Copies of this chain bind each other. A is one copy, B any other.
Amino acid sequence: METIIVGKQAQGKYRKNWKVCIGTGRLGLALQKEYQDHLRLLQEQIGFSYIRGHGLLHDDVGIYREFETADGHAKPFYNFTYIDRIFDSYLELGIRPFVEIGFMPKLLASGEQTIFYWKGNVTPPKDYSKWKDLVQAIVTHFIARYGEEEVLRWPFEIWNEPNLINFWQDADQAEYFKLYLVTAQAIKEVHPSIQVGGPAICGGSDHWITDFLLFCKNESAPVDFVTRHAYTSAKPHKTTPELVYQELNNNTSMLEEFKQVREMIQASPFPDLPFHITEYNTSYSPINPIHDTTLNAAYLARTLSEASDYVDSLSYWTFSDVFEELDVPKAQFHGGFGLIALNGILKPTFHLFRFFNSLGEELLYRDENIIVTRKPDGSIALVIWNLVIEKGDDFNKEVTITLPLEFRDVFIKRDTIDEIHANPWRVWKELGRPRFPSQQQIQMLRQVAEPHVRTLRKTTENETLSLTLTLSKNEVSLIEFIPVYEEAQPYIDLDDSQMTSYS
């Protein structure tokens, strides 16, 4: 049995950089009602500051169009009907765009290469002058509609994963740097204080970071922040038409990558630039069932606990299964990235975020399986987890925790997710994996998606309390220790033992 003794002295501050930004399916999906319902739920229960997704310039949002003039020329036309509706809805829900400039409108594309079911074009502009006009028209429109003060708070990131041939034709670094320079300068011409950054690479090619910052230095390209992605799955070892299976890397690998890239930035000509992880998750596949599991939550707990030490933000990819990279989702659970499954059903990782959101700012203790914090009122909130990679059922673990509590009576509340509780994916399998569940099944799945809650009242001794917990497989628990101010006293003659059945 493990024993943890938590001291009274704060060990620093717990920062929630994981709350700065969240990922989304392509922006065009933000027109959908179910998307908006999920986003509202997310904001009401957790509350992120920014949202980032692909497809701002994709043809379904439809910004770039051309008209033919009487003399047969193509005249650019910028259609803001849909993007206004989308950004209006974001701001109404208290979340700002973390703008990603891409992909290429068909009419501006130099090639035909596309990515995803929805065919995002990933080729360079065929005319950089029209590209510049487009970028400036957009930024100018944003300022006109939302005001300078607002837009100055939006980061503008140029393109997505240009180091991959799927996302940028030939993964051509020189062409990306050209695109970056033109775009960043175009934006700064509209307003010099708008923040621009890149290179938005995925892991595995970190030399791009160094190259990029050197390029910015040499070419005097504006750069206000550095971005990168992070996923922790190996290549698929089995692929089926509907699902993909992958092994997980060790859950410290992501933190190590964060640290290394931070050091690369510090060693660059721009050592103080903010560093944003604009995508992360376990698997990069939208059909890997791990995303629906409790394992996914237990695995990422350590990331939420420690990542803020290295990065200024990290953006979980993505908040909702309203998502279409490979196709229209084919079943209630299908391995999608979302914190929220179709029909508004919360996944375990959603609760992981809720739990970490309940932590205080004063960090009292932290190791690889627990984080303990204190709030201004003296109450303590901790998150503890029992990550189990192995198969099987018997991985219970006992832990005894001793906590400093400066009050006599304490109310203890434990919210738990594990393989049994808050696991709608499990219940869905019991139901026979209904692809298109009935309203009755949806109600059941919503009901079982809530954490198991246990409460208890204890008395501290010498301003400390010891608690022994049994953690089940992949359990993540939020435990709160709240002072009790007993109000039985004002009752005259209160005596529960006078009741039938009770004492």
Contacts and interface: CB of A to CB of B under 8 A. Distances in A.
A113 to B, nearest CB: 20
Interface in A59-85: 61-62, 65, 67-70, 75, 77, 79-82, 84-85
Contact of A62 (B88, B328, B413): B328
B295 A500 contact: yes
B34 A85 contact: yes
Interface in A321-345: 327-331, 342
A430 B455 contact: yes
A242 B67 contact: yes
Contact of A330 (B81, B84, B247, B503): B81
A248 B293 CA distance: 48
Contact of A329 (B61, B81, B240, B289): B81
Interface of A: 31-36, 61-62, 65, 67-70, 75, 77, 79-82, 84-85, 88-89, 141, 145, 237-238, 240-243, 245, 247-248, 289-290, 293, 295, 327-331, 342, 388-392, 409, 411, 413, 427, 430-436, 438-439, 444, 447-448, 450, 452-453, 455-457, 473-474, 482, 484-488, 490-503
Contacts of A70: 492-493
Identical copies of this chain, number: 4
A-B interface, 6 closest residue pairs, ranked by CB to CB distance from nearest: A245-B498, A62-B328, A430-B457, A240-B493, A33-B33, A432-B484
Nearest to A233: B500
9 contacts: A32-B32, A33-B35, A75-B492, A79-B330, A238-B495, A240-B492, A242-B491, A245-B499, A411-B432
Contacts of A82: 328
Contacts of A485: 432, 434
Given A32-B31, A289-B496, A501 B487 contact: no
Contacts of A502: 293, 295, 391
Nearest to A29: B31
A436 B81 contact: yes
Nearest to A342: B81
A391 B501 CA distance: 4
Contact of A392 (B438, B486, B503): B503
Given A70-B493, A411-B430, A433-B487, A289 B499 contact: yes
A325 to B, nearest CB: 14
Contacts of A247: 500
B448 A427 contact: no
A290 B237 CA distance: 59
Given A31-B33, A500-B290, A62 B450 contact: no
Most buried by B among A82, A495, A500: A500
Most buried by B among A247, A392, A411, A497: A411
Contacts of A455: 427, 430, 444, 448
Contacts of A248: 500
A432 B486 contact: yes
Contacts of A494: 240, 242-243
B409 A432 contact: yes
